[in-house]
A and B are shown apart, each in its own frame.
Chain A
């Protein structure tokens, strides 16, 4: 892990760059889930530009850390992170969800850097459990990160995986919940409430951390502590804002999968661009 001077600012800037890529991809393709992409920007930026031990030139490197995007609908910003990290060219992002592109609407393993296909919700934690169990069996030191959406925690399979992760003492598994408090239809607390979410993970015997999911310093510190936990898996509940970064999108359920109009696009792009450049 390298944490040089200025890195926090770099990660913050990168998060906004990722948002800009995702915004453009969704706007141009007239398809995609902006709200849940934007809530994830800092988390992805921290992982890909600080924590993950990976080699984009060798995407199948066996010792690499694994990352599973269980909330596969955040594919655009995930692809943006992979591109910025060097798995493929940023130009490739223009092919998002078009025929022949490996950048499918939801992640597919044939894309370089995608460790597991996703798109059907609630499955990623189980896969992470398998990867972490495999690492232990094979004597490998890689870590497995699983990014969960909050809405998908309503799937029973997630709770099955939580049980098994503890049974196998998977301290090489780190779950991160992008807790933006919204799902497709509405706010989570008006759909199927998850609270008290922290207590649920605690009751399942996970090591539980909470952080502001848009505060890079807090995320770096918290994920860093989660990595150090011994003997059991850990989860970082990252409190986020759906649509974060564009003021007219923040916290509004309709931006789950709404495609911006031309005017909205230009306005959003301007706001995000200002954020990148104000940091530079």
Chain B
């Protein structure tokens, strides 16, 4: 078990990748000491480009670098990289250039900085772009594996990071294939699907449920895009009730992605656990999670709601889904 910060491991892994692949370059918008991207500059000062507080230009520069055969990692806070959204759209995603966009401090990582720094729409925005992959690792082990994969993949990727520390819930042996989910627990009563840091809460929720005799299936989905549709459908078909959890707005993230798949492939009752379309204030990350209904207790209570519906399935099908807080 490790209490290491995800950002530390990000910086380290970026450096390791840089040793292996001389094409890798790093672009920073005056955030490197926080994101730890600056670690790269210790060994490779000529491959670390300081772009100043100017994200739009940074993404344009990355596009130019990628077009001449380099592999730029563009690193900023998830909240601020969106400032360059049109540049990402036109200069990276549309031409399908081999650039990696890294959104550090996503979700409530910048907890006390307040809503200007919280990043709760990034997955929705990034996954709506053709050609773009969106990946949201849960812990430092998975982060390392994800970074190896995206460095090999030729094409644009959005890597969603948290500051950490994040408890380690995967193992060295956990398989990590692009576009594939990871089954962390098999169970028959309900399927919980989650991504990123929220999977840590889902793991805890599963423990609570287990002690109360609920046999939950837990599917961790680091790849929000491409989404592992087969794994989603399989989990839904085995359990008949789905809870999707994420540290992200309810609109457009993993919950939406799963609902899109199941709605078309295997209509299944779903409860989404996410930030209920609101902006939060300054607080600790875990208090924010509780306040915004994405904490462990929210996952647990969503599971009980779904179990209740599942048991009243016949009636449920005749009634509109009770909407809870999301309205």
A binding-site residues for B, Cβ under 8 Å: 62, 66, 108-109, 115-120, 123-135, 137-138, 140, 144, 156-157, 160-161, 163-164, 167-168
Contacts and interface: CB of A to CB of B under 8 A. Distances in A.
- Interface hub of A66, A108, A125, A126 (most chain B Cβ within 10 A): A126
Contact of B52 (A118, A134, A164): A164
B59 interface: yes
B87 A126 contact: yes
A134 B63 contact: no
Interface stretch (B65-73, B200-208, B213-221): B65-73
Contact of A117 (B46, B62, B69, B90): B90
Contacts of A157: 54, 56-57, 60, 87
A140 B70 CA distance: 13
Interface string B255-281: 000000000000000000000000000
A101 B86 CA distance: 24
Contacts of A156: 56
Contact of B95 (A109, A128, A129, A140): A109
Given A115-B67, A134-B65, A137-B46, A129 B90 contact: no
B51 A164 contact: yes
A196 to B, nearest CB: 23
Contacts of A118: 90
Contacts, number: 112
A140 B65 CA distance: 13
Interface of B: 25, 46-47, 49-52, 54, 56-70, 72, 86-87, 89-91, 94-95
Nearest to B54: A160
Nearest to A135: B68
A163 B65 contact: no
Query: Which A-B residue pairs are the 5 nearest by beta carbons?
Result: A130-B64, A126-B60, A160-B57, A130-B61, A160-B54
B129 to A, nearest CB: 14
Contacts of A119: 90
Given A119-B90, A134-B70, A137-B70, A127 B61 contact: yes
B63 A164 contact: no
Given A109-B95, A120-B86, 5 more contacts: A115-B67, A134-B70, A137-B70, A156-B56, A163-B57
A157 B64 CA distance: 15
Contacts of A127: 60-61, 63-64, 67, 91
A62 B23 CA distance: 15
B56 A130 contact: no
B28 to A, nearest CB: 12
B250 to A, nearest CB: 30
A208 to B, nearest CB: 20
Contacts of B56: 123, 126, 156-157, 160
B47 A137 contact: yes
A161 B60 contact: yes
A165 to B, nearest CB: 10
Contacts of A129: 57, 60-61, 64
A144 B60 CA distance: 14
B219 to A, nearest CB: 37
Contacts of B52: 160, 163-164, 167
B94 A134 contact: no
B203 to A, nearest CB: 41
A117 B91 CA distance: 7
B132 to A, nearest CB: 15
Contact of A123 (B46, B51, B70, B91): B91
Contact of B54 (A62, A109, A123, A163): A163
Contact of A134 (B51, B69, B86, B89): B69
Nearest to B49: A133
A163 B60 CA distance: 14
Contacts of A131: 64-65, 67-68
A117 B95 contact: yes
A126 B64 contact: yes
Contacts of A167: 50, 52
Contacts of A134: 64-65, 67-70
Given A135-B68, A161-B57, A130 B63 contact: yes
Nearest to B87: A123
A126 B57 contact: yes
Nearest to A162: B57
Nearest to B50: A167
Given A62-B69, A126-B56, A164 B61 contact: yes
B54 A130 contact: no
Contacts of B70: 134, 137-138
A108 B52 CA distance: 29
A157 B29 CA distance: 14
16 contacts: A108-B95, A123-B56, A123-B86, A123-B87, A123-B91, A127-B63, A129-B64, A130-B67, A130-B72, A131-B68, A133-B61, A133-B65, A134-B68, A137-B46, A163-B57, A164-B61
